[in-house]
Structure 1
Amino acid sequence: MKRTISYCLVYLATSVLLAGCNLVVFNPKGDVARDERDLIILATGLMLLVVIPVIVMTFLFAYRYRATNKKARYSPRWASSHKIEAVVWGVPFLIICVLGWVTSETTHALDPYRPLDSDVPHLNVQVVATDWKWLFIYPDLGIASVNELAIPVNTPVSFTVTSDAAMTSFFIPALGGQIYAMAGMQTKLHLIANEIGQYRGIAANYNGHGFSDMHFSTLALSGADYEAWVNKVKAAPGQLDQASYAELAKPSVAHKITYYSAVQERLFLDIVDKYEGMNKAPRKKETQVQRNSDDVRVNQQPSLLAEER
């Protein structure tokens, strides 16, 4: 009796805790996040078509063929049933076919490198993960911020992501899936916010003791509020160059929100180049081969066009 009461209390406490959870992934605030939520629900529902009947039949068979039930049919010479075989093999086959088609379609539709279809020009944001903070550079505006990302609502955002420390993952659950940030590499992510609000961004891959405090605020603002935010950053006294960035990149936990009104040209590329060793030749004696290499990089990374020029 005491054990039963203990189990009931555990279940009750678990239910209360789960009731307080904010299932942000199932409460999307952007088109990408909504499509990903629908995909999760569809895939889970298709798999439950097998899981639920199996669970139900397990208890049903255990009850029906219990030792005390003398009326249960006993067929010791039963060998096979074409109907059962059709269900056992046919249903999983159909589910796999549907999942395969859905996977093929959504793999391309939700490709993080694929620009979002929109009549509104993309906003380019360069993201640098350091220990343990996030740096956001707006190359077209020449400004930057730390641990605060501001984007205009209903505007597609093109993120170019790298790391200047251990590998981690850039993730805004309310807006869409995550993308890894790795030193010496650039990854791409396209998201959009369709509702005004403030959303939590996190590091979704463990990268040291400051991991739990490596989060940032994402502000989805109206056009006027976004312009006001940009003007506020442009009025900030701080400027981001190699020296100030070196100081910023030093490990720190729970770093406060910081604004930079000016950013040194090519800073993002210089951070990437620290690890991959590209474009190291002096700019004044640049060879034709190096210029061609730079042009290739620009063509491969359109969002970096402003910095390259």
Structure 2
Amino acid sequence: MKGEFSNVNVEILKKTLILLSFFFCLLITPPPGFAQSVVIDAGMSPNQTAWAFDRDARDANKEVTFWFRVQKESIYKYNFRAQVFRPDGSEVWNTSYGFNVEGYADQKLTFPVFFYDRSPNKLALSFGMWKVRTAVYEKESKREVSVKEYSIAFSDGKKQTPAAEVSLPGKSGNPFPVPSFQYKQWRLKNWGLGIYDEVSVGPNTYDREIRSIDVRDTFSVKEALNAWGKGHKFGAMLEGPPVNTYFNTNQLPQYVFGYILKHPDGDNNGLNPRYRTSSYCNNPGAVLFSFDIRKLGRYRIEFLLRERDKPDWEESSWVPIGGFDFTLTQ
């Protein structure tokens, strides 16, 4: 009887130890999504996504920085990785760095000469859409906890369309009827989808005029990709009054604009306001949202407006402007 009692105690002790081990693991294992909270922000500067290469051009190269910022207490647990891929998907750059004491890490690249240097055939450069991929990953497990990707168009500067030959907005015809919309000082003047150029018209970042090349409600994937390859942009344009007509008391634009893009398969971009792409209008008064989309079918884009002082993560801060449909074919 005494031996049986001892065996029972041993079994109870074993089960107790197992339970304690289980609870201990729960205590030391971070809850799902905790790793994501280590990231504060990330970005690219300057935010220029089209680069034309011309061997005869001087002072055309610029340093571009891709960066991540994490919580300071996380710098010993995570690393920063930067990768670059050619249009054919082959990898040409893969480096990793630690974060500094402020939780910051970056990768600096010089465009467009970087694309020239890493084109395997200097007589037939790798023009097209390159991809820069940055990530934060755990040092021990190598698991990525946050990723940012950037599509960068590399084109032949010798084949650029001269600015004087670029058609002005509306000249090629706009198949998208413009509804009547006004919110306080901002009024919708024009919108559309197609191939555009952004032309610098002043010294400041936002001094960029958007000029239409081809505006239609149906494009092929090939046409969209060829536009990027020629140094143009494929995307949706929204135009309102001059920016200086709706400055706030600090002489800053009062309104910011975003969009929701609904895909043919039911997927979407921007439905959740926390992940909605947004931008201020360029000077004089238009904004271009560029796309690299390749799924075939019918899309719908819906534009929204937000006052800059209202929280971007709350849907109630966004005012619907309207939208239109377009089609992408093979």
Regarding TM over 0.5, the answer is no
Q: Which has the higher strand share?
A: 2
TM-score (norm 1): 0.29
| Larger-Rg structure | 1
Structure possessing the higher relative contact order (Cα contacts under 8 Å, 6 or more residues apart): 1
More helix by share: 1
